[in-house]
Amino acid sequence: MKMQLTEIANAIGIDDVPESWQEITITSVEFDSRKVQPNSLFIPLKGQRDGHEFVENAMQNGAVATLWAKDHENVPSGYPVLVVDDPLITLQKLAVYYLGKINPKVVAITGSNGKTTTKDMTAALLETEYNVVKTQANFNNGIGVPITLLNMNANTEVVVVEMGMDRPGQLDFLSHMAQPDTVVITMIGEAHIGFFGTRDKIADAKLEITHGLKEDGLFIYNGDEPLLRERSKKVDQRQYTFGNSAADDLFASNVQGARDHTSFEINLVPGQTYTIPMIGKYNVMNALAAIAVAKAYHIAPDKAGAALKDFQLTHNRTEWVRGKVGELILSDVYNSNPTAAKEVLTSFSKTESKGKRFVVLGDMLELGEQSDVMHAGLADYLDPKLIEDVYLVGTHMQALAKTLKAKYEETQIHWYSVDQEDQLIADLNTKLTAEDEILIKGSHGIHLEKVLAGLQNA
């Protein structure tokens, strides 16, 4: 972004500002004082700590102005301060203003699984023809979406926005903020079912992403999901489906998997093979969603294929890395839910391995009263002929450990509490060889990235 501070002040309803502010140009906004860049506007938000405590640090790190909540006393002097009712609401208001100023096409993506991967794929395909900005990392909530919008440059033509939710109403709010031209729902799973209770209610909440969709917009969704097919009747805008069935507008065939890539064909371009640098048929569904967006934005099939083959995936999403003894690690430590865990276990079990396969599974959070049953249900996707040992982390994984005793020897099942990462790492390091492969997957709150680091660092 690039705006004069006076323009920002006017955009958020502050008219009486010093003339000297006309000389101040803001090139970014930031709510983390440690990440402030020169010429930033600092946004002090309330989290575990109050962001107002870090305003001085932000100014020392290069910020040239800050918001300040009017219910906080001791307004700083010596640098520009914009006093507002609520810094978060002001951030969101500024994002809406800036979105209207740049006026790009907006692609909004949600889903119980695959939204980050689909976002990365979609951006890569669109970048073959447009200037594109996409959501970074997991900036997909009421803070992250406005930050994404404010990260646009003046020449941005398309912004690809990932949207997450764990409560009803969140996607409604985000969709009205971003006013998308295209929305995508990847699938409906069990993520956050502890809050919603049923998949039906999850589907209702996901459909909120269409609430801000422009009248001439496009709704792209997984046509194999009956819950979405049923609810699509409530959407007046144009619709396009992807999936595994010939009843879908876009579907894949001849899917061929390997350890580090998956290839497939699509009905729209007979004879052309698409390849993604990822494991799993479930990621083909994410690719189809991205291809559907690319088609809507007139990306040629050959360009789409080339972009998919080399797209850059957000870190720690089904990413192959090497451990310190040479073992291959399939890192999927950012998040987990039953659908995603089953999919990656199925794919991992089929990899070509010279050695043995091991898995580390952490608790899947926010599953509510059904949690233990859903954890135990993963047993059907673990075969002792294919997976040598199973390492489980967290309270709910005890349910899976108990169920696995029907098919695994007790010496092959290892359970750890969340504070036993060091012991888990030590146990794995004594077991793994350079020929082996290991899958690590769990919800972010279990912090299996610590285990990943322990296996990679000598």
Q: Let me know if 380 is exposed, middle or buried by CB neighbors in 10 A (0-12, 13-18, 19+).
A: exposed
User: What is the bridge-based pairing of β-strands 238-243 and 250-257?
Assistant: parallel
| Cα–Cα nearest to 8, from 54, 47, 39 | 39
Name residues whose C-beta falls within 8 Å of residue 410's C-beta, 6 or more positions apart in sequence.
none
How many Å apart are CA 94 and CA 65, to the nearest integer?
15
Three-state SS letters, the chain: CCEEHHHHHHHCCCCCCCHHHHHCEECEEECCHHHCCCCEEECCCECCCEHHHHHHHHHHCCEEEEEEECCCCCCCCCCCEEEECCHHHHHHHHHHHHHHHHCCEEEEEECCCCHHHHHHHHHHHHCCCCCEEECCCCCCCCCHHHHHHHCCCCCCCEEEEECCCCCCCHHHHHHHHHCCCEEEECCCCCCCHHHHCCHHHHHHHHHHHHCCCCCCCEEEEECCCHHHHHHHHHCCCEEEEEECCCCCCEEEEEEEECCCCEEEEECCCCCCCEEECCCCHHHHHHHHHHHHHHHHCCCCHHHHHHHHHHCCCCCCCCEEEECCCCCEEEEECCCCCHHHHHHHHHHHCCCCCCCCEEEEEECCCCCHHHHHHHHHHHHHHCCCCCCCEEEEECCCHHHHHHHHCCCCCHHHEEEECCCCHHHHHHHHHHHCCCCCEEEEECCHHHCCHHHHHHHHCC
- Residue 445 marked ligand-binding: no
- Residue 116 marked ligand-binding: yes
Q: Let me know if 356 is exposed, middle or buried by CB neighbors in 10 A (0-12, 13-18, 19+).
A: middle
Q: Which amino acid is at 194?
A: G
- Residue 223 marked ligand-binding: no
- Residue 148 marked ligand-binding: no
- Residue 457 marked ligand-binding: no
- Residue 385 marked ligand-binding: no
- Length of the chain (residues): 458
- Residue 117 marked ligand-binding: yes
Residue list for the binding site: 111-117
Residue list for the binding site for ATP: 111-117
